[in-house]
Amino acid sequence: MSDDFMLDTDDIERRMGGAMASMRTEFASLRTGRAAASMLEPIMVEAYGARTPINQVGTVNVPEPRMLTINVWDKSMVNAVEKAIRESGLGINPQLNGTIIMLPIPELNEERRRDLTKVAGQYAEGARISVRNVRRDGMDQIKKAKNDGMSEDDQKFWETEVQELTDKNIAAIDAALENKQSEIMQV
């Protein structure tokens, strides 16, 4: 009955790759030796009853190598943006100047480097969880097909395919994390 079952491994691989791409974007935000607007990309602000990316409530500029500024468009959002930055875990202390929030980027000391490696680890764990969720979705599809009459051999084949994709992506996440952590700890 279900001999023609085809698991969309391309979709599974694409979704797992999306978790990896998201983690790489978050890793880009950890470049703290110099100021970069991408550092603020993962920060979401509670704005107008929804979580909004910081670049959608103000203009992010890099006026100096060690300074970021955010020109908040709506004066009522300044405190929400400041709060989001403080709670982001980036270790940046915002300074208010009207609707402009200045973010001096601190020098990286040993303690700050260790903190950043922990943040990188949290980003990697989030990516691993996303990959595992995609794996679970694939396994659920296989179980459903098994209940619809798929042979046990086909079930084992597809489960092996999904597990290999999962293992490959988890290994890539671990390798990227190791590279990022060594980059952060490099003086």
pTM: 0.66
CB burial of residue 38 (10 Å; 0-12, 13-18, 19+): middle
Which pLDDT value is given to residue 59?
A: 92
- pLDDT band of 34, cuts 50, 70, 90: low
Stronger pLDDT, 138 or 38, i.e. the higher one: 138
> Measured between alpha carbons, how far is 58 from 81 in angstroms, rounded to an integer?
9
**Beta carbons of 70 and 100 less than 8 angstroms apart:** yes
101, two tokens: 């929030």
Which pLDDT value is given to residue 32?
A: 55
Give the SS3 label for residue 94. coil
Ordered by start, the domain boundaries in the chain are 9-25+109-185, 34-104
Stronger pLDDT, 101 or 5, i.e. the higher one: 101
Question: Could you report the per-residue pLDDT of 78-113, keeping only the tens digit for each?
Answer: 999 999 988 887 778 899 988 899 998 877 788 878
**Beta carbons of 42 and 29 less than 8 angstroms apart:** yes
171, two tokens: 């290994």
Question: Could you report the per-residue pLDDT of 130-171, keeping only the tens digit for each?
Answer: 999 999 999 999 999 889 888 889 899 999 999 999 999 999
Whether residue 33 has pLDDT greater than 70: no
Percentage of the chain modeled with pLDDT above 90:
47
Q: What average pLDDT score do residues 48-55 get?
A: 89
| Topology classification of domain 34-104 | Gyrase A; domain 2 (3.30.1360)
- pLDDT band of 1, cuts 50, 70, 90: very low
Q: What average pLDDT score do residues 114-140 get?
A: 93
Whether residue 183 has pLDDT greater than 70: yes
Q: What's 9-25+109-185's CATH class?
A: mainly alpha
